């Protein structure tokens, strides 16, 4: 299953490697990597790209991929001929890792909104305690750099209107189960600053917008996942109204390219918004893009009222000023995801 997904993504990888990122990627050669959350949406795509660099571009990389479940890791990466080490483990208890990791990319956390409500304790401790354990591991390994995956949710309900820069703040009700994820990611960002200041660790932070792509878990409760599944089946897509709030969405290929760029060109201690500029939409607008991109006959059905949302649009000027250029447009990402879902190979 996942070997076919890896093969399917190779055309993406060729595109990424044809951008100006290819001029700086050799700086990562002859390095060791530890990736937590390697079987997730971002982690799997990133891990496959690193395998591609080894198998197709002759890079010498020592790769360790970590996730909670051993079976998931074997399914995702058992096919690889590259030098890959699989490390199942619970980051809240500390990973059984005593090797060298020049670069630690910390992606592991519960990113399923339904589980925030079902397992709020595990969600919060997984992010805060897990992140602290990963930062400690990186310090002991004398890592060159840690990338911490944060989220647009740290902005809460923005105080200002318009695109949000990395210096903007928002508010949300921390006395709620939905606030568990947001508060934990904020606390984890603060932990990163603590390790930088007190221990001299090098850490860059990426704040991702809403993500989609062919490496998603299509059993997730994410709205975008439901939209893709319904569109492929030509079934009605149900959306709560009003839908006037606009959000940034990002194809996973652009997110992974940004991670690699920031490993080389980012500044320690800095947070960077990661979003695709041409993918700003209201929820129903994004659903319509998915319907069009997948060639679907689905209709949109508006259901019961909900509290009016707030725009959460990420300003990406800081990332672009560091020299980053996104390899893919949003239409490409939607079509790439829909084609793979139609093939039934997830």
- Tell me the three state secondary structure of residue 45: helix
Say whether pLDDT at 1 is over 60.
Answer: no
Would you state the pLDDT for residue 346?
45
Query: Does residue 242 have a cis bond before it (omega within 30 degrees)?
Result: yes
**Mean pLDDT value of segment 29-46:** 97
Q: What is the CATH number of the domain that holds 66?
A: 3.40.50.720
Say whether pLDDT at 306 is over 70.
Answer: no
pLDDT > 70: what percent of the chain? 96
Cβ-contact 137, 108 below 8 angstroms: no
**Mean pLDDT value of segment 244-259:** 92
Rounded to whole angstroms, the Cα distance separating 19 from 167 reads: 29
Rounded to whole angstroms, the Cα distance separating 51 from 125 reads: 31
Would you state the pLDDT for residue 242?
59
Cβ-contact 172, 322 below 8 angstroms: no
What is the total count of domains within the chain? Answer: 1
For residue 251, give Cα distances in angstroms to 54, 154, 226, 227, 255. Answer: 23, 20, 16, 15, 7
Domain that holds residue 259: 2-342
- pTM of the predicted structure, to 2 decimals: 0.95
Rounded to whole angstroms, the Cα distance separating 193 from 72 reads: 32
């Amino acid at each position: 299953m996942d070997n076919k997904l890896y093969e399917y993504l190779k055309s993406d990888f060729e595109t990424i490697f044809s951008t100006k990122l290819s001029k700086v990627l050799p700086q990562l050669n002859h390095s060791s990597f530890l990736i937590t959350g390697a079987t997730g949406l971002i982690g799997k795509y990133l891990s496959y790209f690193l395998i591609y660099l080894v198998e197709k571009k002759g890079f010498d990389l020592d790769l360790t991929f970590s996730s909670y479940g051993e079976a998931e890791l074997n399914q995702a990466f058992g096919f690889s001929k590259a030098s890959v080490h699989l490390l199942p483990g619970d980051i809240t208890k500390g990973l059984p890792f005593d090797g060298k990791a020049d670069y630690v990319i910390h992606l592991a956390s519960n990113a399923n909104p339904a589980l925030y409500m079902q397992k709020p304790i595990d969600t919060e401790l997984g992010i805060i305690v897990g992140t602290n354990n990963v930062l400690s591991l990186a310090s002991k390994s004398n890592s060159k750099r840690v990338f911490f995956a944060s989220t647009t949710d740290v902005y809460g309900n923005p105080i200002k209107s318009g695109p949000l820069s990395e210096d903007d703040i928002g508010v949300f009700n921390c006395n709620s189960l939905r606030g568990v994820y947001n508060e934990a990611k904020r606390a984890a960002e603060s932990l990163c600053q603590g390790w930088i200041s007190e221990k001299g660790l090098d850490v860059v932070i990426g704040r991702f917008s809403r993500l989609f792509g062919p490496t998603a878990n299509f059993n997730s409760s994410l709205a975008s996942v439901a939209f893709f599944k319904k569109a492929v089946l030509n079934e009605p897509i149900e959306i709560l109204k009003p839908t006037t709030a606009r959000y940034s969405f990002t194809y996973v290929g652009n997110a992974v390219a940004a991670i690699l760029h920031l490993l080389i060109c980012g500044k320690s201690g800095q947070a960077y918004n990661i979003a695709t500029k041409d993918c700003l939409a209201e929820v129903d607008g994004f659903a319509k893009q998915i319907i069009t991109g997948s060639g679907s006959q689905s209709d949109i059905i508006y259901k019961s009222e909900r509290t009016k949302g707030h725009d959460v649009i990420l300003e990406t000027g800081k990332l672009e000023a560091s020299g980053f250029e996104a390899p893919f447009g949003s239409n490409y990402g939607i079509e790439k995801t829909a084609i793979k879902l139609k093939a039934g190979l997830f």
